[in-house]
Chain A
């Protein structure tokens, strides 16, 4: 249905764009503008999702329901413990470690043997996994072109004997890519930014492709999620997949644990997460972005599986390729192509990164030690950098060829189909040595050997051999019945344990023996002195570059070390790094470097980045004479170091305390300055208020003084003004003092229980003259039947409030027909006093301002109110002191008259006071 040439074209365009992206990334890196952002890093980690995810998840879901989720649950949970990953990154950066093998070997005394062992396990475990990816590519081609899977290959090429199939072509392209972008630098710790960018690009591509197909299946071929699940529920065979009973918790736990370990231990994950990390803060984004990625890529797995089961119900179909066959059977070319490319991107991403990681291990930890020890006089050649590069590149080709070979020979066998989890199980064996090494100082080399040995052996016997047997390569009797009929040794039922599925079974026994042997042997045997030092460095690392004191004693020659570096790094690179190191130590010329412990360890660390820590140690040891340090000596030095560390922690704590104290002081100071500013404002306002009457007084006094002949009329008028302003001044000063006293709480309150009615009446009578002067009508409304309204207040202070409100009201009533109404009522435990006038009212904008100090309502000269601007603030202070509130309700006259109704006009000042005693509350 799709033209062959078109598929071929799209495939090569896709692979070509990978090269372009990688090239772009490397160019940017070379130009100093790194593309390694936190997002690229997190997407790089999504190399975890291989074609096994892309095709296989749906396959698993068709038989196991939700159980496919465990493979993604584990990594998600593991990323909650980002501290472990952070520690791995810090250790690796400090020691320039480049692979899992290097990491484990470095921790346990830089043992070449251990590094080699880890490498062998990784290669045996991972090569089939690479083969699986190649098979996925081949298989997807076969589905698109059932008649001629090799249709992609031009006829001309098919004639060539060495061009067996299109998968080989893709493998070759991947080898070229990996060599170009994975071995740019000799030093593996130099990043491969282009490669990581390409992998991130593939991650985005496979996610988009998978979600597009999911959306197509759910909404294009069906009527959405709900419809799909309802139809699935209707078919008993399918419905049981969705039942919670289909979950076996033992197996779920095992798979989750296994994949959680794998996300740290898979060589490709170590490569991206640890080696390619440029900035440890990037981890912060990866911690949520990667789990989010896993969530997204899994959303459509079950719906696609269900749709496939429904569509092919009863009929035969290939569960692992549903992603491809569903759009194909509908004749949707675009979706088919997208599915094919998505699978291709998932496969190629994995192959590239895994190959680089494995190639580093194989060349540094298998090939290099043999060459260095061998009879080829290899170690004495002048410049080895080119040769090392050649070795690494050849290794890549060999690894990919092995993967291809395995795919060709194992073909359809069970061994290949089930290899994903079997690979996981293999790398899981690294976990005890690796994590133990990070958190347990006493873990030692023999323990690591023992653990890995037991774990690997059990893995071989219970996982790898059975997969061979199921492929029909060897007799399968030992799996269920045990070798020679010894049922306790049955490969899937060791010791009669038969309640777990084979994967969980292997995980349980291999980790049990691995961990047990690691711990027991570590406790029973002694750690070497040099190992104790590095163990302490691993466990105590606080930040990248953190190092323990240089524990090394011996004699060395600077020339020999420099020579060594030049041979392995190449003269130019060695010169560069030595220069940097020398200037960091304040030494201008390389030749002046002293061959002290620091320099020896610097040289070893630099070499480690190129040939691995174990080989580096061997090479450095060959040119220096190291004196054996006793364990006691090392422990003494370490003890001192930890004392220094404790001391510096103490210092840090003190400095933190000091900082906190400084912060507190600054805050206190700011508060003081704020108070000071408020006070300053207050003083400035008070001064202004005092100066204003003084201005009139002074001006008139001076004029009266200077002009004895002034007319009697003017004289009387001016003297009147002077008297009035002097009174205003006096009032002002009294109120300012009063207010200051109230604010600072220095008032002596004389609280007594009294009845409000007589108090209001008496107070109103005392200001009666004011009303009469202006001809204002005053109405007092008290509760009927003379019921007493008890409150606990200071009599004089309360009178002050009432007088203030009444005299304010008098100021604002109109000169003719002025009316003031004071009323007393009570409700909800409060007495309520209101003073209403028929003046102009107070616009809403002013209703809160009038309670501020020295602020008065009113606009123009004509209605500028008399008074100090302190009466209301003082009254409010007093009312609030007794637990009440004072506020104003006012509608300006215009508003209240509009609809002709009798609305409360003017201003109404209201204050409340809590009623005293329970007996009164009852009313």
Chain B
């Protein structure tokens, strides 16, 4: 079964690189450029996993994560937070809000793919 992954980031270049990478790895992908679009896409695309940037316009990754986790009516996707802010409090906050893992930018593409597979395997 092909896993569906939603890539959320406000940097087009980052979105483009991850999309290219994951397609090559055989995942089905969709992208969103801000928090609100991300919420819409989650509901229409029903991804298995969301790669979620933290610092975004309209709604931050934290807010998106919180809203998704509070919505009990839908199938909960896995969430990996991506952020350029390395402080421990940020990581703790993300995990506390219901994210499954946390990747610090810039990341190694191999590590990202490995982390995605690990989390999807646990489903």
Contact = CB atoms under 8 A, between A and B. Distances in A.
Interface stretch (B9-17, B39-47, B115-123): B9-17
B10 A861 contact: yes
A693 B17 CA distance: 12
A860 B14 contact: no
B57 A860 contact: yes
A698 B109 CA distance: 8
A594 B94 CA distance: 73
A861 B105 contact: no
Given A687-B85, A691-B84, A859 B108 contact: no
A707 to B, nearest CB: 8
Contacts, number: 79
Given A684-B85, A688-B84, A696 B57 contact: no
A67 to B, nearest CB: 77
B105 A859 contact: no
B27 to A, nearest CB: 15
B85 A860 contact: no
Given A860-B34, A861-B33, A861-B34, A692 B14 contact: yes
A691 B58 contact: no
A741 to B, nearest CB: 25
B20 A696 contact: no
A858 interface: yes
A761 to B, nearest CB: 37
Given A702-B109, A861-B33, A695 B14 contact: yes
Interface string A709-727: 0000010001001001100
A695 B106 contact: yes
Given A688-B55, A703-B20, A721 B13 contact: yes
A695 B24 CA distance: 18
Given A703-B21, A860-B58, A864-B57, A696 B85 contact: no
Nearest to A706: B109
B107 A698 contact: yes
Interface in B1-45: 10-14, 16-18, 20-21, 24, 33-34
A700 B20 CA distance: 9
Contacts of B57: 858-861, 864
A695 B87 contact: no
A694 interface: yes
A20 interface: no
Contacts of B10: 861, 864
Contact of B105 (A692, A707, A858, A860): A692
A157 interface: no
A449 B80 CA distance: 97
Nearest to B109: A702
Nearest to A721: B13
A212 B56 CA distance: 71
B112 to A, nearest CB: 8
Contacts of A864: 10, 57
Contacts of B16: 721
Contacts of A695: 11, 14, 17, 84, 105-107
Contacts of B105: 691-692, 694-695
Residue from A692, A694, A714 having most chain B Cβ neighbours under 10 A: A692
Chain A interface SS verdict (over half): helix
Given A695-B107, A698-B107, A699-B109, A860 B33 contact: yes
Nearest to A864: B10
Contacts of B12: 861
A153 interface: no
Chain B interface SS verdict (over half): loop
A697 interface: yes
A699 B85 contact: no
Interface string B70-92: 00000000000000111100000
Interface in A662-701: 684, 687-689, 691-700
A864 to B, nearest CB: 6
Contacts of A696: 11, 13-14, 17
Contacts of A698: 106-109
Contacts of A724: 13
Contacts of B84: 687-689, 691-692, 695
B21 A859 contact: no
A695 B54 CA distance: 14
A858 B10 CA distance: 12
Interface string A847-889: 0000000000011111010000000000000000000000000
Contacts of B107: 695, 698-699
Given A702-B109, A703-B20, A687 B86 contact: yes
A404 B120 CA distance: 106
B11 A703 contact: no
A703 B109 contact: yes
A702 B16 CA distance: 14
A859 B58 contact: yes
Interface string A477-521: 000000000000000000000000000000000000000000000
Nearest to B84: A691
Contacts of B20: 703, 714
A694 B13 contact: no
A556 to B, nearest CB: 73
Given A699-B14, A860-B58, A861-B57, A691 B106 contact: yes
Nearest to B33: A861
Contacts of A684: 85, 87
Residue from A696, A700, A706, A721 having most chain B Cβ neighbours under 10 A: A696
A858 B34 CA distance: 12
A858 B20 CA distance: 27
Nearest to B112: A699
B61 to A, nearest CB: 13
Given A860-B34, A861-B10, A864-B10, A699 B18 contact: yes
15 contacts: A687-B85, A687-B86, A688-B55, A691-B86, A692-B84, A695-B84, A695-B105, A696-B14, A698-B107, A698-B109, A699-B21, A700-B17, A702-B110, A721-B13, A859-B57
Interface of A: 684, 687-689, 691-700, 702-703, 706-707, 714, 718, 721, 724-725, 858-862, 864
